[in-house]
Each structure stands twice: as structure tokens, then as C-alpha cells.
Amino acid sequence: ETRAALASWTGPGRTADGTPVKLLANVADGDSARSSADAPVEGVGLFRTELCFLNRKEEPSVEEQAGIYAEVLGAFGKDRYVVVRTLDAGSDKPVAFATHEGEENPALGVRGLRLSFGNPALLERQLDAIAAAAEQTGTEAWVMAPMVATVAEAADFSKGVRSRGLKPGVMVEVPSAALLAHRMLEVVDFLSIGTNDLTQYTMAADRMATDLAHLTDPWQPAVLQLIAITAEAGRRAGKPVGVCGEAAADPLLACALVGMGITSLSMAAAAVRPVGARLATVSMETCEDAAEAALAASDPRAAREAVLALLDS
Ligand code: PEP
Ligand code: MG
């Protein structure tokens, strides 16, 4: 039955009873954008801009950056949208012209939006380039910052994005941002939960450490709780809250996330069909039951089993 559903599913994302869930692609550059544009997605939920610059010693000019961003935006045309993430340099993604050297704890150091504290012009130039690319292509651009920890950071970032006529948002990757999601949403138009980092920082376990994989599991009850808090804040504010970490690509977890109130799921294009096909077989009420069961479980395995039992019944 699942195989038949997978074969016949063509999108767009929705539950069996018709609640829309935006399914979006994670992309890294023009090439991955062009290939992802063929998938049944409503746009891009995470354009990791730092991946365009991993081999660059010098910061590209605003014009060159605009050209690179326009390739991604242009691949999705005028009736889909692209969520551009500003540079998430540092820690596991070193970028020569931005990353701070010699930090003892790079994951807890000057990475992501924090780079702009000492170098605001770097972010200003990137926002100029994104605005130019949006203008040039006519594609709707939403812009979000990684590694946001305080409402003041979100407010500052939001001002810079809005002043360029773009739609501001922030990533929820730090537990402080999840706990204050309702206040973040007073200053931005959307939130996007990066479950890879949110899990790392909630569990205090390096996302790259394979021997800690039992901790860096988005089914951990504490992580699910923070996602639920964030989704509920979005529901109350009437603003979109997406998930763009690996968790979004897990068809079972995706159903529970939708039940919590998550409005979009962004993933590698290859994962879209399995997630979309599974969602299409489940009612919103079952998604809500799955969310409740996952949140009540005492560990990741119990959570997964409880959700599977509900979805297959
Ligand atoms: C995340 O942290 O979940 C995320 C989507 O960002 P990245 O994996 O690029 O850190
Ligand atoms: Mg991240």
C-alpha cells in the first residue's frame, strides 16, 4: 500500500484530509537548485549560502554574490519561493574569509549570525546581494539568520532584511530561541527549526560525534518538546514555522511534526516523495495523536514505535 502511494504521489504536500503542508528543498548552489526544481516542491526551505564559499579565500563582491544567489532563485521561477539563509560560517562549515580562527569551542563560538557582531558590513553586503538577486529574478526571497540566541539579535536582523523589502525570519537552533519563540515571532515573519543544531545544543552532544548518536537523535523527548513549543508559538501568532533539519526527511517524524503545528518541511529533494506520500495517507487528527504520543514517550525508540503504531493502525 505504501509503495503504491509512493508511486502515485505527485504533490503538493497535504494530509489525507487536505491540510496543506509545504514541502520544500534544501539546496547548496545553482546546480543543486536546478536539479531540485524538478521535485514536487513549493520552493526552497533552506539555501545554505556558506556552501557556495567553502573554497573561497576572499569574500566575493556583492555583484558576484548576487549572480550566485540569482542562479538559485531563478531556478524556482516566479511562483515558488526561496528561503535564503545568511552565512552560517564557523564550526562545522569553515569559510576562510569569515570564520574566526583559534576558538577553543567553535560550535559555541562566533558562528552564524554572531559573525556580524564584529563585522556588520559582511552581513549588509550579503543582504544587498540577496535583494539584488530577488529583484533580478522576480522570485520571492525570504531571508533567515542561523544561530540566533536572543530576541534582540532577531530584531536587529529583521530590521536589515525588511529595509530591503525582503521577508525576515530566524532559525531556531539554540534552545533559548525555542523557549522564546513567541517573542521571536513579534519581530520576524517566520521561524525555521534547524533540528541538527537544535539537537546538538539541547543534548550538549556534538552532531558529528558518531559515538553520541543516541543523544543526537531528534526523537529525543527534550528536542521534541522544544519543537512543540516553537510550533505552538507559530500557531498562536498565525505565522509559519518550518523544520529544515534532517528530522524533516523522516516520514514518521514528519507526521508528528505536522501534528505539532509545523507548517513546512524542508529536506534533500530525494526525501520529498517518501515524506509527501506518507503524509497523504494520514489525517491531521492522526498527526496530532502522533505528536502527543511522541511527546509523551520516555525515549527515542518508544517515541518512534508509538508513532508507527498510530500511523499504521
Ligand atoms: C540545522 O542545524 O538543522 C540546519 C538545518 O542547519 P545546518 O545543518 O546547515 O547546520
Ligand atoms: Mg544549523
From 196, 207, 267, give the residue whose CB has the most ligand 1 atoms within 8 Å, as the site to mutate: 196
Are the beta carbons of 193 and 243 closer than 8 angstroms? yes
Block means of pLDDT (10 residues each) for the chain, 313 residues, are 74 96 98 97 98 96 98 97 96 89 93 96 98 98 98 98 98 98 98 98 96 97 98 98 97 98 97 96 98 98 98 87
For 55-75, write each residue's pLDDT tens digit: 999 999 999 999 999 999 999
Could you give the ipTM of this predicted complex?
Answer: 0.99
How many Cβ atoms are within 10 Å of 41's Cβ, its own excluded?
26
Q: What is the pLDDT of residue 2?
A: 64
| Number of continuous H segments (helices) and E segments (strands) in the chain | 14, 8
Q: What is the pLDDT of residue 7?
A: 75
Residue closest to 133 by CA, chosen among 75, 79, 188: 75
Q: What is the pLDDT of residue 265?
A: 98
Q: Is 45 in the pocket of ligand 1 (CB under 6 A)?
A: no
Q: What is the pLDDT of residue 313?
A: 80
CA 197 to chain centre: 10
User: Residue 242 belongs to what H/E stretch?
Assistant: strand 241-243
Cis geometry, peptide bond prior to residue 12 (ω within 30 degrees of 0)? yes
Q: Is 195 in the pocket of ligand 1 (CB under 6 A)?
A: yes
Q: Is 160 in the pocket of ligand 1 (CB under 6 A)?
A: no
C-alpha 195 – ligand 2 centre gap (Å): 7
Q: What is the pLDDT of residue 93?
A: 86
Question: How far lies 78's CA from each of 29, 49, 72, 140, 208, in Å?
Answer: 18, 20, 12, 7, 37
CA distance 123 to 111: 13
Q: Is 223 in the pocket of ligand 1 (CB under 6 A)?
A: no
Q: Is 173 in the pocket of ligand 1 (CB under 6 A)?
A: yes
For 147-177, write each residue's pLDDT tens digit: 999 999 999 999 999 999 999 999 999 999 9
* The three three-digit cell numbers of residue 121, written as one number: 558590513
Q: What is the pLDDT of residue 90?
A: 85
Q: What is the pTM for the complete model shown?
A: 0.97
Q: What is the pLDDT of residue 1?
A: 54
